Amino acid sequence: MIGLVGSLSRTSATVLALVLLFAALWLGAAIGETAIPMDVVARAVANRLWHAGYPLDPINEGIIWNYRLSRAVVAACCGSALALSGVVLQSLLRNPLADPYILGISAGASTGAVAVAILGFGAGLLTLPLGAFLGALLAFGLVSLLAMRAGRGHGAIILAGVAGSQLFNALTSFIVTKAANAEQSRAIMFWLLGNLSGVRWPDVWLALPVAVAGLIACLWHARALDAFTFGSESAASLGIPVRRVYVVLIGASAMMTAAMVSVVGSIGFVGLVIPHAARMLVGVRHGLLLPASALIGAIFMIAADVVSRVIIPGQVLPIGVVTALVGAPAFAIILGQRGAVR
């Protein structure tokens, strides 16, 4: 499989990736509790983008454009961003179990977003994404400090991440219980499980630029990530500015995680599972691994969103539940591999 992928030219691989992504978006807009034919989806998009003038049922056209397509685009951005964050964290920390959810970054971002939304933290100066970003940085800083004090190698940061996740999840629950009314509590608890139901086009204009900027930043440092495979000392000996790369890539991971949490809530296991799946397909070189992870993450999240809408008739399941049902068994398999947390 790796040889097959490697035999594709860069142009062919790019075209194939775009075809797969557009096909996933197309299916995401067509499949739901009410099935809509694929040609109707294409005509609805043509009407909106190019004023094609196809005669369509206004209800179906509204469902496609205002609900399903915007939701599919945000799901793709979220999957890509979380998968990229997982690749970066696993490479920098040299631990196959590292991802934003396990390391507490998602939990910290949730706490920051809830603090801004409910407590008005920042006195109106902080937006929801900025509050989530600060919470994500605070969580990672705390987890890193705990891991350094533990001093037991790269496995310590996973244990510190579990502790940090529990701490920030508890803080989020405390804020909601203390300051939110009943309606806010229900909405936030559902959102914290991962919820795309309220996503609309304004959310796309936040999620899409962040995902694209994160991908560019990661690809720019692909060579540095390859060097980190052998440790930070080896990377430094190869001329890699270790401290700067750490700051930029950890900042990019926190930014992507925070932006997606502020839009759709905390979604686990995507950043853990997708990088491993991508490595099976394209190998460990980050020039291929990063775009492959972004593509697979996007398709996976669109598929998970479709499943969340159709698995229970008449009810939408939180998307975080779907990703956990896939990710938890994968986590157990990775955890059981010899030397996974050493």
CB 266 within 8 A of CB 323: no
How confident is the model over 8-19, as pLDDT tens digits? 567 777 788 889
The pair of structure tokens assigned to 69 is: 């397509």
Question: Using an 8 Å Cβ cutoff, are 80 and 215 in contact?
Answer: yes
**pLDDT tens by residue, 120-167:** 876 566 678 888 899 999 998 898 888 887 665 566 788 888 889 999
Higher pLDDT, 47 or 187: 47
CB neighbour list of residue 116: distance below 8 Å, 6 or more residues apart: 122, 126, 127, 128, 130, 131, 132
Count, residues in the chain: 342
Is 180's pLDDT higher than 80? no
CA atoms lying within 13 Å on the CB side of residue 43? 13
Q: How many beta carbons lie within 10 A of that of residue 14, not counting itself?
A: 12
Q: What is the DSSP string of 168-197?
A: HHHHHHHHHHHH--HHHHHHHHHHHT---T
Contact 168, 135 (CB under 8 A): yes
91-133 per-position pLDDT tens digit: 988 888 888 988 899 999 999 989 888 888 765 666 788 888 9
Distances 227 to 218, 231, 275, 304, 334 between C-alpha atoms, Å: 14, 7, 17, 34, 23
> What pLDDT score was predicted for residue 340?
47
- Residue 339 pLDDT > 80: no
pTM over 0.85: yes
Q: What would the mean pLDDT of 162-177 be, rounded to a whole number? A: 90
CA distances from 245 to 86, 89, 148, 240, 340 (A): 16, 12, 19, 8, 24
Please say whether the beta carbons of 156 and 93 come within 8 A: no
* Residue 231 tokens, joined: 């440790």
Q: Which two tokens stand for residue 12?
A: 């062919």
Ranges 275-279, 316-320, 331-335: which has the least confidence: 331-335
User: Is the CB of residue 268 less than 8 Å from the CB of residue 106?
Assistant: yes
Structure tokens at 323: 């990703």
Work out the number of other CB atoms within 10 angstroms of the CB of residue 297: 31
For residues 63 and 286, what is the distance between their CA atoms, to the nearest angstrom? 38
Q: Give the angle 97-102-103 at the CA atoms, nearest 5°.
A: 100
Structure tokens given for 165: 């996740």
Residues ≥6 apart with Cβ < 8 Å to 123: none
Q: Higher pLDDT residue, 208 or 184? A: 208
C-beta of residue 122 within 8 angstroms of C-beta of residue 116: yes
pLDDT for the residue 204: 93
Q: What percent of the chain is predicted at pLDDT more than 90?
A: 42
Asked whether residue 341 carries a pLDDT value surpassing 50, the answer given is no
Rounded mean pLDDT, 44-66: 89
